[in-house]
Structure 1
Amino acid sequence: MSLQTVNDLLKKHKLVEGMLNNQPMPRRKLITALVQKQHMAELRGLLARLSAIEIGQILHSLDLEDAGLVWQQVEESRQDDVLWELSDTLREELVGDREPHCGVGQMSAFELLEGRLAKVSITCRHDLYAIKPIWIDLLAPSKAQRLLIGQHYGLELPDPLDLTDLEASARFYVEDQHEIHIHSDFLLDREGKSRSVPVAFILRGDMLFSVRSEELPVFRLQRLRARTQPGFVSDCKDMLLDLYGAEAEYSADALENIYEQLEIVSKKVLSQDISDEEAADILTDIAEEEDLNGRIRRNMLDTQRAVSFLIRRKLLNTTQLEDAQQILRDIESLNSHTAFLFDKINFLMDATVGFININQNKVIKIFSVASVAMLPPTLIASIYGMNFENMPELQWMLGYPFALGLMTISVLLPFIFFKRKGWLR
């Protein structure tokens, strides 16, 4: 429907332009300008409502002259997105050697030079021709960037925002072209706010591709190690295993922080007196540590599955297999720590709730004693409120002071009794 509308506008434009060729020159220029302005305004409005994919399909369906006319009406801010939808031939015919801008994300390629990892920033397609990387890392890539890498290496890179929608059964699989796809969660514990960041890995031949939406401490650490330590990595599978190993180390550091925070909370909980406000703050701290501990346990189980998947696929050499087994042993030890921390968190939670119950019981105790103490004076007041004629103290001048004194004594006696029994403390 959109293609038909564009064709109709182009036909009208050509028809009017042909009719105006018979008009006198001064008048022809004026009318031509007005007609072109009207038709091109309609075309720009139509293109503004279409997606980049639809515009690309329309440009491929037109001849070169009409495609050039339509291309001129595409908003400049959208031209890069549309260029990624065009074939290389049509793109060169429309804009020549112009390379579409890749977007705001970061694309980095890593080569092995003398045993060290060397980083090469990728800004356009030409940067890929002169390198032989073992790892290409995409941080918050745009669709254009994913298409650039995917078209050059012949694979499809996923959108990092879609990784959280994957089911667990679709996180590890093998494509027909022997592409190993692994989707894992990596821990990000920053400023007391922890979360899991999904990362997509693709192993294809001698190259590792990673796609993620946020910068992660594990990735920074591995890049630093590989650049400064010769022989730290030898191929893409080494890189992937080292990332999982660094994730286990990072999780272990996060567990140590949980131990420290719970030690502080324990001192507060085991103090002699805790107010309700302090107890509320303690429960908040415990809940945060419990959330982080649970997140670490979940990520470790996810990493365990990923490493086991690599072992089952028989992709690793002898040295890498030993490294993978060591990672699995580290994860097992971390799982024991997370289980212990869960027990400790539950104990502190129960203890804090117990102190809150004690504080509430104290309040209830005061009301209970007060209600019991007020029963005798209530009874006395009820008796004297009946106004019997045969009660001589009602006519006595000191009758009311006597009744008030009697009620006061009836209040004091229960308090003295409870005090001697030790029920009031």
Structure 2
Amino acid sequence: MSLQTVNDLLRKHKLVEGMLSNQTMPRRKLVTALVQKQHMVELRSVLDKLSAVEIGHILQSIDLDDARLVWEQVEDARQDDVLWELSDALREALVGDREPHCGVGQMSAFELVDGRLSKVAITCRHDLLAIQPIWVDLLAPSKAQRALIGQHYGLDLPDPLDLTDLEASARFYVEDQHEIHIHSDFLLDREGKSRSVPVAFILRGEMLFSVRSEELPVFRLQRLRARTQPGFVSDCKDMLLDLYGAEAEYSADALENVYAQLENVSKQVLSQNISDEEAAAILADIAEEEDLNGRIRRNMLDTQRAVSFLIRRKLLNTTQLDDAQQILRDIESLNSHTAFLFDKINFLMDATVGFININQNKVIKIFSVASVAMLPPTLIASIYGMNFDNMPELKWALGYPFALVLMTISVVAPFVFFKRKGWLR
């Protein structure tokens, strides 16, 4: 429908232009310019309502002269997005050797040079021609950047933000072209803002592709190790396993921090006096550590499944298989530690709630004692108020003072009695 609309506008434009060119009228050039401008405004209005994909399809479907005319009506801000939808030949015909802008994300390729990783920043298509990387890492890539890498290497790179909706069973699979897709969550532990960041891995031949939305400490650590330690990695599968191993190490460090925080909370909980405000703050701290501990356990389960998938696919050599088994053993030990921390968290939670109940019971105890203490004087006052015919306090000068003293004695006497018996503390 959109293609038909554009073709109709172009045909109308050519028809009117041809008719005006054969007319001998005053100011013919001015009239022709006005008519052309009107047609271009209509064409621009149609293009503004279309997506970059639809505009690219239209440009691919019409003649080159018409494509040039349509291209001139595409807004400058949208031209880069449209260029990614065109073939190399049409792109060159329209804009020459201009490379479409890739966006603000970071694209890096890593080659093995003398046993060390060597980083190459990717800014355009030409940067990919002279390298043979084992790892291509995309950080917060735009659609254009993913298209650039995908077109060059012949694969489809997913948007990492779309991975959060995948079912757990759909995170590990093999494509028809023997591409191995693995979607995993990596821990980003920041004070008060810890969360899981989805990362998409694609193994194709001797190359590893990773796509993620945020920088992660695990990736920084592995890049540093591979650059400074010769022989740290030998191929793309080594790189992937080392990333999973570093994730286990990072999670272990996070669990140590959780334990340290819970130790501080224990000292507060086991102190003699805790106010309700302090208890509320303690509960908030416990809830934060419980959330982090649960996230670590979930990520470790995800990592365990990913490493097991690699083992089942028989992709690893003997050394890599030993490394994978060691990662699984580390994860098992971390799972045991998270279970221990869950027990400790439950104990501290119950203890804190118990102290809150004790504080509430103290308040209720005050009201209970007050209500019991007022029963005898209430009884005396009731008795004095029953006898309307003979009320000695009206004729006796000390009647009311005597009643008040009697009430006071009735309040104090039970307290003294219970205190001596040890029943009141």
Scaled by the length of structure 2, the TM-score of the pair is 0.97
Matched residue, 1:132: 132
Matched residue, 1:47: 47
Q: Which moved more, 1:130-139 or 1:25-34?
A: 25-34
Matched residue, 1:328: 328
Q: Which moved more, 1:57-66 or 1:315-324?
A: 57-66
Matched residue, 1:235: 235
Offset, 1:93: 1.4
Offset, 1:26: 5.6
Q: Distance in 1 between matches of 2:357 and 2:100?
A: 66
Offset, 1:384: 2.7
Contact 1:158/1:211 (8 A) holds in 2: yes
1:218-256 CA-partner distances (Å, limit 9, x unpaired): 000000000011100000000000000000110111011
Matched residue, 1:35: 35
Matched residue, 1:100: 100
Q: Which moved more, 1:317-326 or 1:404-413?
A: 404-413
Q: Which moved more, 1:31-40 or 1:213-222?
A: 31-40
Contact 1:276/1:359 (8 A) holds in 2: yes
Offset, 1:189: 0.3
Matched residue, 2:15: 15
- For residues 226 and 25 of structure 1, do their structure 2 counterparts lie closer, same or farther at Cα, with a shift above 3 Å needed? farther
Q: Distance in 1 between matches of 2:63 and 2:146?
A: 29
Q: Distance in 1 between matches of 2:295 and 2:217?
A: 16
The AA in structure 1 aligned to 2:296 is: I
Q: Which moved more, 1:12-21 or 1:98-107?
A: 12-21
Question: 5 Å matches for 1:153-232?
Answer: 153-232=153-232
Q: Which moved more, 1:394-403 or 1:158-167?
A: 394-403
Q: Distance in 1 between matches of 2:50 and 2:415?
A: 84
Offset, 1:105: 0.9
Q: Distance in 2 between matches of 1:300 and 1:245?
A: 11
The AA in structure 2 aligned to 1:353 is: V
Q: Distance in 1 between matches of 2:100 and 2:421?
A: 88
Offset, 1:420: 2.8
Matched residue, 1:64: 64
Q: Distance in 1 between matches of 2:26 and 2:418?
A: 114
Q: Distance in 2 between matches of 1:421 and 1:103?
A: 82
Offset, 1:210: 0.6
Q: Distance in 1 between matches of 2:171 and 2:210?
A: 14
Question: 5 Å matches for 1:242-257?
Answer: 242-257=242-257
The AA in structure 2 aligned to 1:99 is: E
Q: Which moved more, 1:158-167 or 1:399-408?
A: 399-408
Offset, 1:308: 0.9
Q: Distance in 2 between matches of 1:424 and 1:19?
A: 112
Offset, 1:23: 4.4
Matched residue, 2:278: 278
Q: Which moved more, 1:34-43 or 1:341-350?
A: 34-43
Q: Distance in 1 between matches of 2:44 and 2:385?
A: 93
Q: Distance in 2 between matches of 1:174 and 1:401?
A: 97
| 1:149 correspondence with 2:144 | no
Matched residue, 1:418: 418
Q: Which runs of 5+ in 2 are unaligned?
A: none
Offset, 1:263: 1.0
Matched residue, 1:358: 358
Offset, 1:24: 4.8
The AA in structure 2 aligned to 1:28 is: R
Offset, 1:387: 4.8
1:243-275 CA-partner distances (Å, limit 9, x unpaired): 000001101110111111111111111111111
1:19-61 CA-partner distances (Å, limit 9, x unpaired): 2224457612222222222221222122111111111111122
The AA in structure 2 aligned to 1:155 is: L
The AA in structure 2 aligned to 1:187 is: L
Q: Distance in 2 between matches of 1:405 and 1:35?
A: 111
Matched residue, 2:118: 118
The AA in structure 1 aligned to 2:310 is: L
- For residues 26 and 138 of structure 1, do their structure 2 counterparts lie closer, same or farther at Cα, with a shift above 3 Å needed? farther
Q: Distance in 2 between matches of 1:49 and 1:421?
A: 89
The AA in structure 1 aligned to 2:117 is: L
Offset, 1:423: 4.3
Amino-acid identity (%): 89
Offset, 1:155: 1.1
Contact 1:387/1:394 (8 A) holds in 2: no
Offset, 1:214: 0.5
- For residues 69 and 387 of structure 1, do their structure 2 counterparts lie closer, same or farther at Cα, with a shift above 3 Å needed? farther
Matched residue, 1:401: 401
Contact 1:137/1:209 (8 A) holds in 2: yes
Q: Which moved more, 1:188-197 or 1:4-13?
A: 4-13
- For residues 129 and 26 of structure 1, do their structure 2 counterparts lie closer, same or farther at Cα, with a shift above 3 Å needed? farther
Question: 5 Å matches for 1:260-409?
Answer: 260-409=260-409
Scaled by the length of structure 1, the TM-score of the pair is 0.97
The AA in structure 1 aligned to 2:324 is: A
Q: Distance in 2 between matches of 1:113 and 1:381?
A: 100
Q: Distance in 1 between matches of 2:309 and 2:262?
A: 35
Q: CA RMSD in A?
A: 1.4
Q: Distance in 2 between matches of 1:93 and 1:173?
A: 40
Offset, 1:63: 1.2
1:185-225 CA-partner distances (Å, limit 9, x unpaired): 10000133210001111111100011111000000000000
Q: Distance in 2 between matches of 1:51 and 1:297?
A: 42
Q: Distance in 2 between matches of 1:56 and 1:414?
A: 94
The AA in structure 1 aligned to 2:305 is: R
Offset, 1:11: 2.2
Q: Distance in 2 between matches of 1:34 and 1:419?
A: 106
Q: Distance in 2 between matches of 1:171 and 1:288?
A: 28
Offset, 1:408: 2.2
Contact 1:186/1:299 (8 A) holds in 2: yes
Q: Distance in 2 between matches of 1:38 and 1:412?
A: 102
